[in-house]
């Protein structure tokens, strides 16, 4: 990947293996732009944390190059990379007070006590913890500890901040609150953030762009909306939000629309990537894009479906139907007047437009 004028971090053919056999990260290319909030999203063991640790300098890549602002950081120790890191479980030093923790990076840089105190005060102001300098980390709540950890990472004003599942230990409400907090701080300082999480909702809320990791590789890097609306791989389609995946075979392709045979039915789908008749494809249809009793002029895909069961979820209903060879096909319908005519066991008409049905190259087998 060529460097562009605003590339902050570049991974070039980076691979990592701890034991020489299992590749934790495989031939990875990635660019993080200046001032961007990029999230590495993936299940545990997908290589995202290893990428972060290589970037921070705690691990060395087995092969490939990592550049920060165009300079290879191969021989740069962590302390010279100018990166702030927020660790999982915070890694606050329990033997120091909050003030001591925040002053630590300033102290080791030889900043004089007067200035140190002032900067600690400002850092606490930034994370809204004024007046807690003299507390011990163990005397703070989880959310407060998290704020201290962030303030500490930002203490020496790095241009790049790495966060490794920083909110993993918090309960849901606090997590949501902190998400906005992190976003606010990032925007106000304009720093580049590389953020690791396994929570796709968190990724959606926080990120400018999201890189979806799977088995040491990046499946797709895109804006959150793009990932949702235009997934390029079945894994991404099902990892981000809910999706119905149907397995079929291409019959013919015309422009962007292909005709696909799935479960004995012919489905018209939007073709992603090149393919030819006979190729296997995976069709991805979002549950909320499926229509009950579709009008023929709007929906070219219309099928008979048997309702397996119905779940009432307040703002919407969730139907599980059998269609196109799947018995696990989910349909979400908004809870509005006039929907209630269906019952489990009914046979109904369902339909979707070809644009809402993406034909993707199937994932390689696990």
Partner 1 sequence: MTSRPYRSRIRQVVHATAFVLLASLSWSRPAAGSESLTVVSWGGSYARACQKAILTPFTAQTGIETRLESYNGGLAQIRAQVETGKVYWDLVDLEMADAARGCDEGLLEPVIAADLPPAPDGSPAVDDFLPDMLTECGVGMLFYSTVYAYNPTHLAGPKPTTIQDFFDLEKFPGRRGMRRSPLVNLEFALMADGVPVEQVYATLGTPGGVNRAFRKLDTIKEHIVWWEAGAQPPQMLADGEVVMSTAYNGRIFNAQVLENQPFVIVWDGQVLDHGVLSIVAGTPKLEAARKFLAFATRTESLVAVGRYISYSPARRSGTALITTHLETGVEMQPHMPTSPQNTARALHNNWEWWSDHGDEMNERFSAWLAR
Partner 2 sequence: MSSKRPADGGVFALFGPQLRAVGLVLPLVAFIGLTFVAPLATMLSRSVYDPVVAAALPETLRLLQAWDGVHVPPEPVFETIARELRTARQERSLGRVATRINRVRGGLRSVLTRTARRVREAEGPAWRDTLVGIHAAWDDVQTWHAIRRAGERFTARHYLHALDLERRSDGHIAPRPDEYRVYVSLLWRTLVVSLSLTGLCLLLGYPVAYLIAHAPPQRANLLLLLVLVPFWTSLLVRTTAWIVLLQTQGVINSTLVALGLIADESRLAMIYNMTGTMVAMTHVLLPFMVLPLYAVMRTIPRLHMSAAASLGASTIQAFWRVYWPQTLPGVGAGSLLVFILAIGYYITPALVGGRSGQLISNMIAYHMQTSLNWGLAAAIGGLLLAFVLVLYLVYDRLVGIERMRLG
Binding site for partner 1 (CB under 8 A): 95, 97, 134-136, 138
Binders of partner 2 among 105-144, rule CB under 8 A? 105, 107-109, 136
HEC string of 249-297 equals EEEEEECCEEEEEECCEEEEEEECCCCCCCCEEEEEECHHHCEECCCCC
Query: Closest CB to partner 1 among 91 and 96?
Result: 96
Q: Is residue 354 within 8 Å of residue 311, measured between CB atoms? A: no
Instruction: Count Cβ atoms within 10 A of the Cβ of residue 203 and give its class: 0-12 exposed, 13-18 middle, 19 or more buried.
Output: buried
Residue 233 Cβ vs partner 2, minimum distance, rounded to whole Å:
33
Q: Does residue number 216 form part of the binding site for partner 2 (CB under 8 A)?
A: no
Which partner, partner 1, partner 2, none, binds residue 108 by CB below 5 to 8 Å per kind?
A: partner 2
Extract the tokens encoding 33.
């732009």
Part of the chain binding partner 2 (CB under 8 A), chosen from 99-107, 244-252, 313-321, 357-365: 99-107
Q: Which of residues 41, 52, 148, 153 is near partner 2 by CB under 8 A?
A: 153
Residue 95 Cβ vs partner 1, minimum distance, rounded to whole Å:
7
Any bridge partners for residue 318, and if so which? Answer: 311, 332
Query: Closest CB to partner 1 among 132 and 169?
Result: 132
Extract the tokens encoding 339.
């929907």
Residue 134 Cβ vs partner 1, minimum distance, rounded to whole Å:
5
Residue 120 Cβ vs partner 1, minimum distance, rounded to whole Å:
16
Residue 99 Cβ vs partner 2, minimum distance, rounded to whole Å:
8
Cα–Cα distance between 102 and 145 in angstroms, integer? 12
Residue 41 Cβ vs partner 2, minimum distance, rounded to whole Å:
22
Burial 332-365 (b: 16+ CB within 10 A, else e): bbeeeeeeeebeeeeebebbbbbebbbbbbebee
**What does DSSP say about strands 257-262 and 244-254: parallel, antiparallel, or unpaired?**
antiparallel
Any bridge partners for residue 360, and if so which? Answer: 282
Q: Does residue number 71 form part of the binding site for partner 2 (CB under 8 A)?
A: no
Contact residues for partner 2, defined by CB under 8 A: 56-58, 77-79, 83-85, 87-89, 91, 93-97, 100, 104-105, 107-109, 136, 152-153, 155-156
């Amino acid at each position: 990947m060529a460097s562009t004028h605003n590339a902050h971090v570049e991974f070039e053919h980076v691979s990592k293996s701890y034991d020489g056999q299992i590749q934790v990260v495989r031939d990875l290319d990635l660019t993080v732009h200046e001032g961007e909030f990029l999230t590495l999203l993936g299940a545990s063991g997908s290589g995202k944390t290893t990428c972060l640790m290589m970037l921070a300098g705690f691990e060395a890549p087995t092969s490939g190059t990592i550049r920060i602002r165009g300079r290879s950081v191969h021989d740069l120790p962590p302390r010279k990379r100018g990166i702030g890191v927020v660790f999982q479980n915070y890694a606050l030093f329990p033997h120091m007070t909050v003030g001591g923790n925040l002053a630590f990076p300033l102290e080791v840089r030889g900043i004089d006590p007067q200035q140190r105190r002032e900067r600690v005060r400002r850092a606490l102001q930034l994370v809204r913890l004024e007046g807690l300098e003299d507390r011990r980390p163990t005397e703070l709540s989880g959310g407060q500890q998290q704020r201290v950890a962030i303030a500490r990472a930002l203490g020496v004003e790095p241009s790049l901040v790495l966060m490794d599942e920083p909110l993993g230990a918090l309960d849901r409400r606090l997590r949501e609150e902190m998400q906005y907090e992190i976003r606010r701080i990032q925007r106000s300082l304009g720093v580049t953030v590389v953020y690791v999480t396994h929570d796709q909702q968190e990724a959606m809320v926080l990120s400018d762009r999201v890189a979806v990791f799977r088995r040491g590789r990046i499946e797709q890097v895109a804006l959150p909306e793009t990932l949702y609306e235009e997934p390029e791989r079945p894994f991404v389609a099902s990892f981000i939000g809910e999706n119905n995946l149907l397995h079929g075979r291409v019959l013919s392709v015309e422009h962007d629309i292909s005709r696909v045979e799935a479960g004995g039915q012919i489905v018209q789908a939007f073709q992603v990537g090149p393919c030819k008749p006979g190729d296997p494809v995976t069709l991805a249809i979002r549950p909320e894009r499926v229509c009950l009793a579709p009008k023929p002029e709007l929906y070219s895909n219309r099928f008979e479906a048997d309702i397996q069961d119905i779940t009432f979820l307040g703002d919407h209903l969730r139907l599980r139907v059998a269609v196109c060879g799947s018995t696990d096909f989910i349909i979400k319908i908004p809870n509005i007047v006039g929907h209630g005519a269906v019952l489990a066991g009914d046979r109904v008409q369902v339909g979707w437009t070809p644009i809402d049905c993406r034909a993707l190259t199937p994932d390689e087998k696990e």
